[in-house]
Amino acid sequence: MAVTAQDIDPRLLRCFVVAAEELHFTRAAARLYLAQQALSRDIRRLETTLGTELFVRTTRQVALTAEAERLLPYARRVLEAQEDLIAAFAGTGESDRPLLVDLNTDGPGTARTVLNLARERFPDGELMARFESGLTHAAGEMAAGRLDVSFGRFAGLDPVLRNRLEHQPVRLEPLAVLLPHDHPLAACESVPLDALAGEQIYVGAGNPRTLEWTDLARRLFEGRGIALSPPAPLAVGKEEFRRVMAKSRHPVLATVEFPEMPGSVRRPLVRPVPLSPLSLVWRKGFAHPGLDALRGAAAELSAERNWLSVPADHWLPAADATVLGLGVPPGPKSRGR
């Protein structure tokens, strides 16, 4: 049977390209935010459509067939053309509609401060807040056109997804820890990072929406004897989050502006000062006057409040320093992590 263009779903080509790059179906499925069984099913569908086997799979390894090697450059060109098409028309007719801005959580913080100033600078427009709980989830929504702007750790996104987005560094946010009020460290004005050795800290482990945040914490805790707490029930909304955390009594990794919860105290982390890079993120090629207002507000606040300044004794993953492009050196214990 002859294969026509209508037979090939670009989504299946994306699955194939990622699997071909990883040569490991578990890692490929994680990059695509799919279950491994779903990825295997989609690869089989593509193989059936093309009438050829693409992967040789054993218990030890995955390898490309000769036909897969031949398909790979074609698949990449198709996906690049699709992304160019989306970028070319992403802003068409959208300048008058409300801009959908994800703040991650409903509460005070850097993102809310930027949004408030942008609303002042763009009084005739409508900037609508959304709360998607994490950049990992929001990035997929932006790439699909269901959300316009978000905030978060850009380096923590999958490179394939990053290629479909743009970002503007806003702030290097110092990190803090929320402690139960009767915790031995609660009496300290600040908490040395090594003092948390032996603790289990909540960092959103198990929450698929916040993978970039959990990854930052894992890098920070590595080699310091600090463990990630087991996954907690997914709490939507700040009140539910406070309730679940108060019940578990695990310390919580947060930023210095995160609101304290009942029965807890917030203490900045020091020696070194760990930094969480926050960027304004949007879909590549997207244009909207509200986005211009947000970018201007973010740049103004970053300059006025020195949000991108770096403490001498700081921690920042090398990968983030590179992606930020600010000439920010990684911290003394963060190189290669």
- Evaluate whether 39 touches 87 at the Cβ level (below 8 Å): no
When mean pLDDT is compared over 29-33, 263-267, 329-333, the highest value belongs to 263-267
Q: Is the pLDDT of residue 37 over 80?
A: yes
> pLDDT averaged over the chain?
86
CATH 3.40.50.720 fits 99-172+276-314, yes or no: no
Q: Using a cut of 0.85, tell me whether the model's pTM lies above it.
A: no
Rounded CA separation 107/178 (Å): 16
* CATH T-level assignment (fold) for domain 174-274: D-Maltodextrin-Binding Protein; domain 2 (3.40.190)
Predicted confidence at residue 47, as pLDDT, reads 93
Check: CB of residue 162 under 8 Å from CB of residue 156. Answer: no
Which of 15-19, 35-39, 166-170, 284-288 is least confident? Answer: 35-39
How confident is the model at residue 101, as a pLDDT?
Answer: 96
pLDDT tens, residue by residue, 89-118: 655 555 668 999 999 887 789 999 999 999
Domain ranges of the chain: 5-86, 99-172+276-314, 174-274
CB count, 10 Å around CB of 33? 15
CB proximity list for 72: less than 8 A, separation 6 or greater: 16, 17, 20, 64
Q: Dump pLDDT digits (tens) for 260-274.
A: 777 789 999 999 999
CATH topology classification for 5-86: Arc Repressor Mutant, subunit A (1.10.10)
Q: Please, are residues 19 and 55 in contact by the beta-carbon 8 Å criterion?
A: yes
Are the C-beta atoms of residues 158 and 34 closer than 8 Å to each other? no
Mean pLDDT of the 228-247 span: 67
Distance CA 82, CA 91 (A): 15
| Among the listed residues 66, 49, 65, the one whose alpha carbon sits nearest the alpha carbon of residue 1 | 49
Distance (Å, rounded) from C-alpha 9 to C-alpha 225? 46
- The pLDDT tens digits for 127-186 are 999 987 799 999 989 988 889 999 999 999 988 888 889 999 999 999 999 998 889 999
Spatial separation of the C-alpha atoms in residues 185 and 145, rounded to whole Å: 45
Q: What sign has the CA pseudo-torsion 147, 216, 279, 317? A: negative
Q: Which residues are within 8 A (CB) of 240 and not within 5 positions of it... i.e. 6 or more apart? A: none
One fold for both 99-172+276-314 and 174-274?
yes
